[in-house]
Every structure is written in C-alpha cells, then in structure tokens.
Amino acid sequence: MTLLDVFVSTLNISLPVFAMVFIGIGLKRLGWIDQSFVNTASRLVFRGTLPVMLFLSLIHTDIAQTLNPWMLLYFGLATLASFILSWGYAALRVKRHRRGVYVQGAFRGNCGVVGLALADGMYGDVGLSLGSLLLSVVILSYNILSVVVLAAYQLDEHGERRAIDWKSILRHILTNPLILAVVAALPLAALGIQLPAWLETSGDYFASLTLPLALICIGATISTRALKNSYRTAVSASLAKMVVIPLLATLGAMAAGFRGPELGVLFLYFASPTAAAAFVMAKAMGGDETLTANIIALTTLMASISVTLGVFILRINGLI
C-alpha cells in the first residue's frame, strides 16, 4: 500500500467516530437535543446498552486466545506511571486548588466509548474483545486513582482536608455495570455457553445503540463557552493527555514487545480524550468543574487529529 492508501484507510477508521462527536455538537446547537436528553441517554448507555455490548462481545471470545495477562498488567502499570508523572508535574507547576482536576484530566481517558469505538473500527470483533477485557482494568484504575487525587485536594466547609471514603469507592466499583457485565460474561465464554438466537439478536439490536448514542452525547456536552474561557492549565493538561502520555506509553508498549492488535488497542486507549465522567467526579468532589470541562472539550477536539496521526505512523511502520 502507498502512503496515501494507508492515510485514507486510517481516516476511514477515525473519522466515523469523531464525525458522530461533531454531529452531537451540531444537534445541540440546532436545539434538536437538549441537556435532559443527554443526561437520559448517557444513563441508558452506561447502565444498559454498553454493558450489553461488552457482554455480547465477550461471550463470543476465545478467552484462551484473547486474554493476555501481560497486556492487562502493562496497561495498569502504565496508567499508574502516567498518574504519578502527572501528579509530580502538577505539584511543581499547577496551583494547589487545581492539581486534582489537572491530574485527572491528564491521565483519565474515555476508553469505554471513544477507545472502544476506535478499537471496533480498526479490528472489528478482535478489537472489541481486547478492548472489553481491558476495560476491567480501566474501570478499576481510573476510578480509584481519580478519587485519590481529587480527595487529596478536597476541602470541607471548614477549609480542612476531607478523609477518603474507601467504602463508597469500593461500593461504586463493585456495582459498576461495566464490571458486572465483564464478570458475568467470562464464565459463559470459558464454558462455551451460547445464548438462544432470539435473545442474542435482541441484545445485538439494543447494544447497537451504544456507540452512536454515546458519541453524540459526548459532542453535545462540549461547551464552546468553556473553550472560550480556556487557559494555560487546561492546555497543559490536554497536551499531556493527547501527546505526552500516549507517546510514552506506546513507546513503552513497543519496548515490551507488543505488536499488532494488542499494540493498536493499547495506543487507542492511551490516546483517548479525557473521559466525560471526569466532569461528574470533579463536580461531586468539589473540584474545578470549569477547568475539567475545558480539558474534556480540548482533548476531544484534539483527538480527531492526534489519534489519526498516531494510527497512521504506527501503520506505515507495520507495527499495528
């Protein structure tokens, strides 16, 4: 394939995903959807369609062939390393009351929607299976580390630091619909149990709502007003999330010997824009929600370029 052929095929992978995000922006500006729709649709995706999609993708997976514990371990360690580096930088260069939000925005990617959609577009069922297995590590690491760093700078009404509620964190993790879907699907996949055809077809119809609906909601939550009010801290966190961390983590994965779909999915997950859930968590824990919104908006817009460029470079070198 020529460079032009590789570039066009790369655009065919990334553009459909980001086109849905920009459609969401347009629909919100036209008034065809409102915040009430976005809130309801987001809950439907998180509690219903996305868990069903993960469940169905995993029950068809050959666990012995797909499950790579080293891939899961590498992602967990690389995530921890990016978290520590972000916090170290924030401690030196970011004002104290913004550090928690900065760190969360710099390391927490939207793997469950954007990363998974890109993996599906690039590798089909193989990418979906790899991405679904990886999500168990994503959910655990992102939620725990985000709460830790936000709680470290959270103050109560008296201006004193609040204690971390570990019981609440554990409860939210154990009841997370995405984790429950993975846990429920793995035994069925290992035992080779098949669902009735009518049930699987109905599930496929329901699960097919996930990616377009979730991507439209992401677009609809991007605030142009927040972008206008963006400032240096948001730009710094966005560059860390979309350039520095994907670059270092992908180079590390290459050095560790990952190639093909595994390297591709790892790159897509590390290169995903900041998760929309970061805004909810920052707001709930008294963080700077405006800064969080700025980071989410900037990284989402940057992703359409950085992800496409990253995939293109990896593909022309025959790595993925």
Contact 54, 185 (CB under 8 A): yes
100-124, pLDDT tens digit by residue?
999 999 999 999 888 988 998 899 8
Rg, C-alpha atoms of the chain: 19
219 DSSP assignment: H
The total domain count for the chain is 1
Helices (H), the chain: 3-30, 35-44, 50-59, 63-66, 69-93, 99-107, 116-123, 125-152, 166-174, 177-191, 197-207, 210-221, 224-228, 232-239, 245-255, 260-270, 277-284, 289-316
| pLDDT for 314 beyond 90 | yes
Band of residue 261 on the pLDDT scale cut at 50, 70, 90: very high
pLDDT band (50, 70, 90) for residue 15: confident
Over the stretch 40-62, which tens digit does the pLDDT of each residue have? 988 898 889 988 988 988 887 77
Domain hosting 178: range is 3-316
Residue 155 pLDDT class (50, 70, 90 cuts):
low
**Alpha carbons 296 and 79: distance in angstroms, whole number:** 18
Best CA proximity match to 49, nearest among 156, 206, 172, 186: 206
In this prediction the pTM is 0.83
Q: Which pair of structure tokens corresponds to residue 262?
A: 């595994």
Q: What is the CATH number of the domain that holds 218?
A: 1.20.1530
Q: How high is the mean pLDDT of the chain?
A: 86
Nearest to 261 by CA among 80, 65, 107, 79: 65
The closest of 2, 7, 4 to 310, measured between CA atoms, is 7
